[in-house]
Amino acid sequence: MPMSAHEVRQALHELGDLRYAAGNLDEALRRIVQCTHDLFAVDGASLMLIDPDQLLRSVADSDERVGYLEELQIHHGEGPCIDAFDDKELVHAADLAAERRWPAFSPAAVDRGLRAVLASPIPYNQMAIGVVAVFSAKAHPWSPEGELALIAFTDLAALTIANTMQSEQRGELATQLQRALDARVLIEQAKGALVARDRVTPGEAFEQMRRRARAERRRVVEIAREIMITSGKQ
C-alpha cells in the first residue's frame, strides 16, 4: 500500500526535534534511518557519508545485508549510492535483476534478496556529502510520493548535519565529517592541477589519485598534498 501524506508528515513530526538540535549526530542519523525504514516498509535502509578520501562510508544501516551492499559499492566504485552521490540526483531501480547499470552490484543485491533500490544524495554547502537509500525485497516501481518522501528525509539529515557542524560540541562523527570536508578542498585543488597538467577530466584526475594511493597504500589526501607541492601551488 502506498504511503500517505499524513504518514510522511507524522514520521517527520516524530523527528521534529532534530530540526533545531545539535546533539549526538550518530544517534540522530540512526533515528532517521530507522524511521525511513519503518515508513517505507522496506527491507533495508542506510545512510552513508564521505570520508577524508571522498569515498562513501556506512554510518547507519538497518541490517547486515544492506551493510554488505554498501561495502560492495565502495569496493567496486559502482552502484546506486555512488551514482546518487556523484550526480547529485535521485537514483532509482525498480528491478535489480534486470538492471545493467551496475554489473557487480546488481547480481550481489539480488543474491541477497534485494530487488529494488532508491537512493537520494545528502546536500551540504552546494555539494553532496552522503546518501540515504532504501532497499526492497520485491521488484516494484518507486512512486513519486515515495521519491518525495525520501528527499524529505534526506533534507532532514542534511539539516541535522548542518546544525551539528555549526555546534561547538560536535562529537566524533561530526569531527570526522569536518576532516572529510577539509580534505575535499585540497583534493579538488589537486584535481584541478591534474586537469590542467595532464589534460584529463576531473573524474579521471580523481581516479588517478585513487590508483596511486592504493598502489602506495596511502591516503588520497596525502597524494593530493604532494601534487599541490610539486605544482608549486602550496
pLDDT at 1: 47
pLDDT score of 61? 84
Q: How confident is the model at residue 18 (pLDDT cuts 50, 70, 90)?
A: confident
pTM: 0.83
Give dist(CA 100, CA 203) in Å, integer: 21
* Residue 73, pLDDT score: 85
Residue 169's pLDDT is what? 65
pLDDT on residue 87: 92
Q: What is the chain written as a DSSP string?
A: -PPPHHHHHHHHHHTGGGGT--S-HHHHHHHHHHHHHHHHT-SEEEEEEE-TTS-EEEEEESSHHHHHHHHHHHHHT-SHHHHHHHHTS-EEES-GGG--S-TTHHHHHHHTT--EEEEEEEEETTEEEEEEEEEESS--PPPHHHHHHHHHHHHHHHHHHHHHHTSS---HHHHHHHHHHHHHHHHHHHHHHHHHHH---HHHHHHHHHHHHHHHT--HHHHHHHHHHHTT--
pLDDT confidence band for 225 (50 / 70 / 90) = very high
Is the pLDDT at 65 greater than 90? The verdict is: no
Q: Are 46 and 60 in contact (CB under 8 A)?
A: yes
Tell how far CA 203 is from the center of its chain: 17
46 φ/ψ angles, rounded to the nearest 5 degrees: -155, 160
Share of the chain above pLDDT 90, in %: 41
pLDDT at 135 over 50: yes
The chain-wide mean pLDDT, for the chain, equals: 87
Closest CA to 117 of 108, 128, 126: 108
pLDDT at 21 > cutoff 70: no
Instruction: Give the chain's domains with CATH numbers.
Output: 5-165 (3.30.450.40), 172-230 (1.10.10.10)
pLDDT tens string 84-129:
999 999 999 999 999 999 998 999 889 888 899 999 999 998 889 9
How high is the pLDDT of residue 42?
Answer: 83
Query: Per-residue pLDDT for 219 more than 60?
Result: yes
- What pLDDT is stored for residue 193 in this prediction? 94
pLDDT tens digits, residue range 168-216?
A: 666 788 888 999 999 989 999 999 999 999 999 988 999 899 889 989 9
Q: What is the pLDDT of residue 12?
A: 77
Task: Phi first, then psi: give them for residue 162, nearest 5 degrees.
Answer: -60, -45
Q: What is the mean pLDDT of residues 35-51?
A: 88
Q: What is the pLDDT of residue 39?
A: 84
